[in-house]
Amino acid sequence: MLDQRIDAFLTLCDCMNYRRAAEECHLSQPAVTQQIQSLERLYGCRLFSYENHRLKKTDEGLILEKYARAARTQERALREKLTDRKISTLRVGATKTIGDYFLEDYICRYLQDERNALTLIVDNTEHLLHSLRENELDFAVIEGFFDKDSFDSILLRREPFVGICRKDHPFAGREVTISELLQETVIHREAGSGTRAILERELSGYNESLQRFQRHICISSFRLILDLVRKGYGISFVYKILADSDPELARFTLQGETVVREFNIVFLKYADMRDKVASLFRPEGEQPVEGSAV
């Protein structure tokens, strides 16, 4: 079991307020303060400071937070091994493109072993990264940007990012200019999704934004986005693996370099999840090997 002081420390890291941390820990506020001070004496450094009357993590506090979150994840893995469970459960997160259009073969192969069980959460990048920090997932497979100071990763594959439109649209099969693009209705994902972040970053390279389109429509469902594009309500940008899933759609590219982005397997820094990752992503026909990695 992790030191109670570490639990109090991580709770304070989450809410950055001693009163709320005390409520969540079911302790008095002075008790939380004492536990933080005890950790500061143990490590010989300040973990928090006040700046303009606001609580702030020190550099040392940020380092301890990364190790403490990893330790919490490792402790859960240790408990699983010590209890010698007959069923091994993976807790995996995936962004929507990956969860809906890429992982099925890996999941089916993993579940062929009756000793394996799986919890799969499909959500946007922002929510998945939060779930990793809160030890709700072992790892997540994402196509969005993430903080490499807080997370380690394994590259799974690289995938082109393309425009999609109706087959009879003037953009079909073409390379289009940014000025042509902005005359269209664009259908995009919600804030926090990986595909939206990538689209916004590409637009910023032209000193443009979503607001510069003639009209923009925000929808969180890829199925509905594809339906609307197919019916001619606008254009969108998705990964090639998703564009290829619908033969009624045509592709186009934005003038300039081809946009290619990474699908990464992401987990907390200092939490070695490579055995768990390998159990899902080992090559077809290969038996799991203790200590193996992708």
- Which CATH number do you get for residue 57? 1.10.10.10
User: Span 167-171, mean pLDDT?
Assistant: 96
Domain presence at residue 289: no
* Residue 147 sits in the same domain as residue 34: no
* Per-residue pLDDT, 84: 62
Domain boundary among the residues 61, 81, 110 is at 61
Q: Which residue has the tokens 């950055």?
A: 16
* Residue 228 sits in the same domain as residue 91: no
Confidence of residue 121 (pLDDT cuts 50, 70, 90): very high
* Residue 256 sits in the same domain as residue 173: yes
Structure tokens at 77: 């893995």
User: Span 158-178, mean pLDDT?
Assistant: 95
CA distance linking residue 128 with residue 122, whole number of Å = 8
Confidence of residue 76 (pLDDT cuts 50, 70, 90): confident
Q: How far is CA 92 from the centre of its chain?
A: 10
Domain presence at residue 293: no
User: Span 256-271, mean pLDDT?
Assistant: 89
Domain presence at residue 18: yes
Domain presence at residue 98: yes
Whether the per-residue pLDDT at 283 is higher than 70: the answer is no
Structure tokens at 70: 């990893």
Are the CB atoms for 95 and 121 separated by under 8 Å? Answer: no
Are the CB atoms for 248 and 167 separated by under 8 Å? Answer: yes
* Residue 275 sits in the same domain as residue 250: no
Which residue segment(s) compose the domain that 271 sits in?
72-157+262-281
- Which CATH number do you get for residue 124? 3.40.190.10
DSSP character for 288? P
* Per-residue pLDDT, 287: 46
Are the CB atoms for 292 and 279 separated by under 8 Å? Answer: no
SS3 227: helix
Domain presence at residue 194: yes
* Residue 129 sits in the same domain as residue 164: no
Domain presence at residue 290: no
User: Span 170-180, mean pLDDT?
Assistant: 95
* Residue 162 sits in the same domain as residue 254: yes
User: Span 240-245, mean pLDDT?
Assistant: 92
Our count of domains for the chain comes to: 3
Give burial (CB, 10 Å; 0-12/13-18/19+) of 204.
exposed
Closest CA to 140 of 148, 149, 129: 129
Helices (H), 138-268: 178-181, 194-204, 222-230, 240-243
- Which CATH number do you get for residue 253? 3.40.190.290
- The neighbouring-strand residues paired with 191 are none
Per residue in 6-27, pLDDT (tens digit) is 889 989 998 999 999 999 889 9
* Residue 13 sits in the same domain as residue 150: no
Q: Could you tell me which residues come within 8 angstroms of residue 27 by beta carbon, excluding any fewer than 6 positions away?
A: 8, 35
Mean pLDDT, all residues of the chain = 89
Domain boundary among the residues 18, 42, 61 is at 61
* Residue 230 sits in the same domain as residue 256: yes
CA end-to-end span of the chain: 30
Q: Are strands 260-268 and 185-188 parallel, antiparallel or unpaired?
A: unpaired
* Residue 25 sits in the same domain as residue 117: no
Domain presence at residue 95: yes
* Residue 91 sits in the same domain as residue 237: no
Whether the per-residue pLDDT at 81 is higher than 90: the answer is no
Domain presence at residue 271: yes
* Residue 162 sits in the same domain as residue 43: no
* Residue 185 sits in the same domain as residue 137: no
SS3 141: strand
